[in-house]
Amino acid sequence: MIQAILHENVKGNLYGFTVKGHAESVPEGEYDLICAAVSMLTHNIVHGLEALSPDEVIYRVGDDGFLDAYVPEAKAGGGSKETALLLDLLQLGLNDLEEQYRSFIRVRRHSLL
């Protein structure tokens, strides 16, 4: 199952996310459209943050579907409107996927509090 954790700052605004795991919605070796959708969405948000936001984005990509990204300015309670919009867009997309494929993806918010 894919675990998507949306990180929120003390003001309740998103500042980053962590995604890990695999959907395993098809037999091994076959193309998993749910994994592909999550990967495309999350990587596109990182690229969008780099290209469209004045804020710095820090990210790590690892094995087993791992991607962790955050915006230090937003974590500290600031950040641009572009960063806020892109991270809110990520939440909308992940929530839509979870609604359609509950057996394969779980989305939750995690607060600094």
pLDDT digit string, tens, across residues 54-81: 999 999 999 888 999 999 999 999 999 9
| Mean pLDDT within 95-104 | 97
pLDDT at 105: 97
Note the pLDDT of residue 41. 98
Q: Is the pLDDT higher at 4 or at 25?
A: 4
pLDDT for residue 65: 86
Domain count, the chain: 1
Task: Return the pLDDT at 28.
Answer: 84
pLDDT, position 64: 83
- Return the CATH number at 10: 3.30.70.1490
- Average confidence score pLDDT of the chain: 95
Q: How far apart, in Å, are the Cα atoms of 62 and each of 11, 19, 20, 43, 90? A: 29, 10, 9, 13, 20
High-pLDDT (> 70) share of the chain, %: 99
Domain boundaries, position 10: 2-29+36-111
- Contact between residue 21 and residue 44 where contact means Cβ atoms under 8 Å apart: no
